[in-house]
Amino acid sequence: MTTEEKHLELKRYREILLATLDYSIERSKALDYGETLIVHYEQLKEKTDESFTKGRLTWLKSCLRDMTEAERETEDFGFVRYIKDKTGYNFDIFDKFHKRIDKILERKCIKTENQYREVLSMIDYLCQLTAVDQQKIDLLSSLLVGFGSKLSGIKTPKSKRESSVKNKHFFNQLLEIPSPDHQRTLILTESGTNADDGSTQVVIQFPQSGSGVYAVDGINLDIKTYWKDNQTIVIETKKEFHVKQKWEQVQDYTDIIVVEYMEKKY
């Protein structure tokens, strides 16, 4: 690495690390983690500038890896967008996630419900990007159709599977309600390629991350959801729905949301 290349690398890691620390500070303030943690992050920002000045690239890389561990574990796509908006750099920490998606695309087959959920997450992420990769969305959507047929026991004809690729993937937000303290947001969405190949999802958006709560096959299901209090949501649904995801609670660090289900019969 030449002197100029090292300087550019130092600059890149410094800016991304500073933005990451700002992200952590904003989250700590939003979740009221206390001043001690914020002071720690501010000290790390000072050490980041010092390490940049002294050319300590190894320290910058190591600190950045440690500071993004939680975002990697929770697949916090909002973090990637934050870094891009603040620094202009593309900094994708989800290498393992993308590799899993790439393997699914290579074998042209979803094998498990966990892979199904990850493909759904990938599609939703791609739909939110400024430069939408419609071809990748269509390919992933066609795999969802195939796996949905496998679960139902009804084989989808090849002609129908191929035609589904031509359909645009839709993503509709039906409901968005802030918690009483306005620290989190409850979201109800529908997504898929058509009415026969869609799903309904309930999501909690924390200050700097999001978590899926409940997901079922189908759209136009008249599912209702609302806040009971700051730490509890209620989901009104039906037992007969085909459930793909159902959590009794979700959390972001120490911020825990309890989920109460009201399940009716047809």
CA atoms within 13 A on the CB side of 162: 3
User: What pLDDT, in 10s, does the model give residues 102-153?
Assistant: 998 898 888 877 787 778 777 776 765 656 677 787 788 777 766 655 544 4
116 CB burial (10 A radius; 0-12, 13-18, 19+):
buried
Task: Please report which helix (H) or strand (E) contains residue 146, including its range.
Answer: helix 134-152
Instruction: Give the global pTM.
Output: 0.51
How far does Cα 64 stand from its chain's mean position? 20
Quick count: other Cβ atoms within 10 Å of Cβ 75? Answer: 19
User: What pLDDT, in 10s, does the model give residues 148-189?
Assistant: 555 444 444 444 444 444 455 677 778 889 999 988 889 888
Cβ distance 188 to 200 under 8 Å?
A: yes
